[in-house]
Structure 1
Amino acid sequence: MASGAFAISDLLTAFTTLFVIVDPLALAPIFLVTTSWAAPHERRQVGLRAVVIAGGILIVFSVAGSAILRILGISLPAFRIAGGLLMFWIAFEMVFSRREDRAAAPVIEQAARADELRRIAVFPLAVPLLSGPGAISATVVLATQFSGVAGQALLIAIIVLIMAITYGVFRAAAPIDRLVGDTGRVIATRLLGVLLAALAVQIVGDGIRAFMKLNGL
């Protein structure tokens, strides 16, 4: 992708990739569990703090992720392949409900401790649910495609937009959960998982081609 030239399809792909990985709709029930003991204003504070922290983490990796890879001696194609494989694993967990099952146990444990309100915003909401390895990997991969100041600004804007949507979903979590119900939530999670799997395969394929070209294969 040339610097300064960003098609609508590129922006939609970046938004879709991060939105599917962050998956605010699937996290809404978990947010309800973690804040079930809290007053409405406390719940809003937890949601806001979580999205701000997660957004900050992703923005840092969108700006400095490539530099971190250079320091570690990791090529961008190699990281793209690894990130794609990790995203595919997350998609696998979404399709077969393993992500929700794994996240539920520590969440319930944390929600029972009302004196750890701030810690809940950091863990497990901000990390690893909102800005876990999958989201960080996707952000670094996308940062290699959105080059230049304009590209970084667009990627940061996408991250901010997704976090704003996530906060809105958290604010409306209770009525959304009642409206969607268990069946609707399961269907949405499965569909998002299949979509993420397709995106992951595309990223891995692009990474393999770039890796082979980089190594003269």
Structure 2
Amino acid sequence: MDFTVIDAALVTKLLLLLAIGIGPKIALVPFLEMTQKLDAETKVSIGRQMVLTALVTALILLATGALLMRLLHITGGAVAVGGGIILALLAIKMASGPTEKHDLGLPVDVAKIAVFPLAVPYLLNPVGITVILIASGEVVSVASAALVAGLILLVAAFDYLVFTNIDALAKRMKPASLIVSEVVFGILLTAVAVQLVVSGLVNLGIITASAAH
């Protein structure tokens, strides 16, 4: 990402990546499964805590990511490869369809599931973590840092609207449509994961840019 010039193309690219990386789609089905037996008030409480946790984590990563990468001697390429591998694991599960259920018949610990696995790694998923870490290391001014933070807040606001009104939305969702969209999105995310790995390998100099195209 080149932050030397802030234009519509950069804003659009960042917004799309963050919509995947911290947007509601990946977290939606797990949230519905884990909270299906809970009352509406508890669902809203879990949704609110989940979004807040993901947002705070994302902003902390943005503020400290560049420092962490320097301290651990990690490059943006390595982050992209690692994020791509983890994303591929999640995406393959989605693309395989509903083969496992999160409801094990045990009491739901609201405080725990809102943080893990709902906030991380479902809401703030490997794409989001990778994009934010790389952006943290590449921002060149207060304006570029403010842009990334502002887009994170924008996507989080949309997440908040979705998960605090989940019952009203769930009534409009057909189970079959959810399954189909989950599989399709899983395939698309697998492609995103492959692209992350390829971009990381190019960044690390393991393959050339021409070979990646």
How big is the alpha-carbon RMSD for the aligned residues of Structure 1 and Structure 2?
A: 2.8
Q: Which residue in 1 is equivalent to 2:143?
A: 150
- 1:146, CA displacement in angstroms? 4.2
1:166-205 equivalence runs, <5 A: 166-205=159-198
How far apart are residue 134 of structure 1 and its match? 4.6
More helix by share: 1
Q: Of 107, 114, 120, which aligns to 1:113?
A: 107
Once the 2 structures are TM-superposed, how far is the Cα of residue 17 of structure 1 from its aligned partner?
A: 2.3
Q: Please tell me whether residue 56 in structure 1 is matched to residue 50 in structure 2.
A: no
Given that residues 58 and 159 in structure 1 are in contact (C-alpha distance below 8 angstroms), is that contact kept between their aligned partners in structure 2? yes
Counterparts of 1:9 and 1:90 in 2: how far apart (Å)? 28
The normalised TM-score by structure 1 is 0.77
User: Residue 211 in 1 paired to residue 204 in 2?
Assistant: yes
Q: 1:200 to 1:122 in 2, by over 3 A?
A: closer
Contact persistence 2:95–2:182 (CA under 8 A): yes
- Deviation per residue, 1:11-62 (Å, 9 max, x gap): 2222222322445235334323433454433322221111101111111112
Instruction: Call closer, same or farther: CA 1:177–1:199 in 2, change over 3 Å.
Output: same
Structure-2 separation of matches of 1:63 and 1:96: 36
Tell me: CA distance 1:121–1:142, structure 2 relative to 1, closer, same or farther (3 Å): same
What amino acid does structure 1 have at the position aligned with 2:42? E
Q: How does 1:1-217 map to 2 (within 5 A)?
A: 1-97=1-97, 101=99, 104-105=101-102, 108-109=103-104, 112-113=106-107, 116-212=109-205
Please report the TM-score for the alignment, with normalisation by the length of structure 2: 0.78
User: Which SS does the other structure have where 2:205 is aligned?
Assistant: helix
- Assess if the C-alpha contact under 8 Å between 1:80 and 1:203 holds in 2: yes
Partners of 2:53 and 2:134 lie apart in 1 by 20
Q: 1:11 to 1:86 in 2, by over 3 A?
A: farther
List per-residue Cα deviations over 1:130-184 (Å, max 9, x = no partner): 2344532332134345443222222122222222222222123233333231221
Counterpart-to-counterpart distance in 2, 1:176 and 1:153: 32
Structure 1 unaligned runs (5+)?
none
Give the deviation of 1:211 after TM superposition.
Answer: 1.7
Alpha carbons of structure 1 residues 197 and 37: separation in structure 2 relative to 1, 3 Å: closer
**C-alpha contact 2:95 2:183 (8 A) present in aligned 1:** yes
Q: How many residues align?
A: 206
- Return the alpha-carbon distance in structure 2 between the equivalents of residues 83 and 124 of structure 1: 17
Q: Which runs of 5+ in 2 are unaligned?
A: 207-213
Task: Identify if the C-alpha distance between structure 1 residues 34 and 202 changes in structure 2 by more than 3 Å, giving closer, same or farther.
Answer: closer
Contact 1:47/1:121 (<8 A) preserved: yes
